[in-house]
Structure 1
Amino acid sequence: MIVTPAYAQAAGGAGSGLASFLPIILIFAIMYFLLIRPQQKRMKEHRNMVEALRRGDQVVTQGGLIGKVVKVKEDNEVEVELAEGVKVRVVKNTVAQVLSKTEPAKD
């Protein structure tokens, strides 16, 4: 079979390759700005909140428990007092929210 110039022109040129990838690039850009970037921002804010935990802060855990931070341990744990005499060890990353912050100690 002989290829005529009409068939060769219908097959497309070099510019159609980029045009076919443009929708995929646009979809990725939209996904980045609508999903990935806000999630990274939330993760950074949570990490900063967990690093700033100090004794006396009132916190809510992901399990819904509300308590006061009694001791911040270095090995990724926090001791939280739920009621008078009831203390539990909680992994720092499971602290969902800080309800009230204590003021830093004055020197």
Structure 2
Amino acid sequence: MSYTTIIMFVVLIGAIFLMQRSQKKQAQERQNQLNAIAKGDEVVTIGGMYAVVDEVDNDNKKIVLDVDGVFLPFELTAIKRVVTKESQTVETDQTPEEAAEIIETSKAEEKGSDSKETANTESAIEE
């Protein structure tokens, strides 16, 4: 065999090794994500349905999802991805109008600070 053939086999074996390693890493990340699912997390199933987790049974690999008041049991592997974790969602007692007012106020404050910065920059340029 020539050196070219040997080099081609070595490169091919190296590429296969790297692909398998990448797949194992992705599978491990998915398994960690599935194991970390808790009640209150928003998930997407492999069918594209958005739901909130109601119960998780890791021993039997089952999960119960709440879809607008309808509780549906699934296998844990039917979860495609976690959209939001329960700890990241912010529960408030505000009405949508109050929340919109807070957002508008914060935007107005940002614009005010931007105009102050612009004025400071313009005065520095004039000097």
Whether TM-score is above 0.5 comes out as yes
Once the two structures are TM-superposed, the CA of residue 82 in structure 1 deviates from its matched residue by 1.2
1:78 paired with 2:66, answer: no
Secondary structure at 1:72 match in 2: strand
Q: Which runs of 5+ in 1 are unaligned?
A: 1-15
Percent identity over paired residues: 21
Alignment partner, residue 23 of structure 2: 39
Alignment partner, residue 53 of structure 2: 69
Alignment partner, residue 89 of structure 1: 73
Q: Which has the higher strand share?
A: 1
Secondary structure at 1:31 match in 2: helix
Alignment partner, residue 55 of structure 1: 39
Whole-angstrom CA distance in 2 between matches of 1:94 and 1:21: 44
With normalisation by structure 2, the TM-score equals 0.61
C-alpha deviations, 1:3-50, integer Å up to 9, x for none? xxxxxxxxxxxxx577743321221102322x2222111111100000
Q: CA RMSD in A?
A: 1.8
How many residues were matched structurally?
86
The partner residue of 1:28 within 10, 13, 18 is 13
Whole-angstrom CA distance in 1 between matches of 2:78 and 2:6: 42
Secondary structure at 2:48 match in 1: coil
Higher RCO, 1 vs 2 (CA within 8 Å, ≥6 residues apart): 1
With normalisation by structure 1, the TM-score equals 0.71
Whole-angstrom CA distance in 1 between matches of 2:42 and 2:50: 7
